[in-house]
Amino acid sequence: MANHMRNLQTALDSFTDHWQPRRLATVNDYDVRVVKLQGEFIWHSHPETDELFLVVSGELVIQLRDEDGGDVVLGPGDVYVVPRGVEHCPRADGEVSAILIEPQGTVNTGDTAPSERTAVLRELD
């Protein structure tokens, strides 16, 4: 993918499907992905990497299974990093637009891949 200027809102407006991330940009060996979320995802972890969520709009709940447990509730402008290996399940009761930052090649369903929710990373049109 060639590096060039992109507008975040234009990128988000270019698709409507949920849980299907698009590559917005690449920084070194990391993808900056935009995604729309609605409903509950699946429980999974990423044994090899952390995963950064930045909420653009809506409210995202990241359910966690670790020693602390509990939920992390994110609103617009909030950032949360799920540590590598922590089992989590994102949930959006209404539509959420978000940015994900993770190493290139990271599969959205982590250690549960392949599953019915595994998505092929798409490029923006």
74 assigned to some structural domain? yes
32 assigned to some structural domain? yes
pLDDT bracket for residue 27 (50, 70, 90): very high
pLDDT bracket for residue 125 (50, 70, 90): confident
Q: According to the model, what pLDDT value does residue 12 have?
A: 98
23 assigned to some structural domain? yes
41 assigned to some structural domain? yes
- Where in the sequence is the domain holding 70, given as residue range(s)? 8-115
23-27, long-range: CB < 8 A, 24+ apart? 23/121, 23/122, 23/123, 23/124, 24/99, 24/124, 25/1, 26/1, 26/104, 27/101
Task: Kindly tell me if the per-residue pLDDT of 68 is higher than 80.
Answer: no
91 assigned to some structural domain? yes
57 assigned to some structural domain? yes
1 assigned to some structural domain? no
Query: Could you give the dihedral angle defined by the CA atoms of residues 95, 12, 34 and 29, in that order, rounded to the nearest 10 degrees?
Result: 180
Q: What is the CATH number of the domain that holds 15?
A: 2.60.120.10
Q: According to the model, what pLDDT value does residue 2 have?
A: 55
| Number of folded domains that form the chain | 1
- H-helix segments, the chain: 8-13
Q: According to the model, what pLDDT value does residue 9 have?
A: 96
Q: Which has more pLDDT, 125 or 33?
A: 33
Is the four-CA dihedral 109, 115, 116, 120 of positive or negative sign?
positive
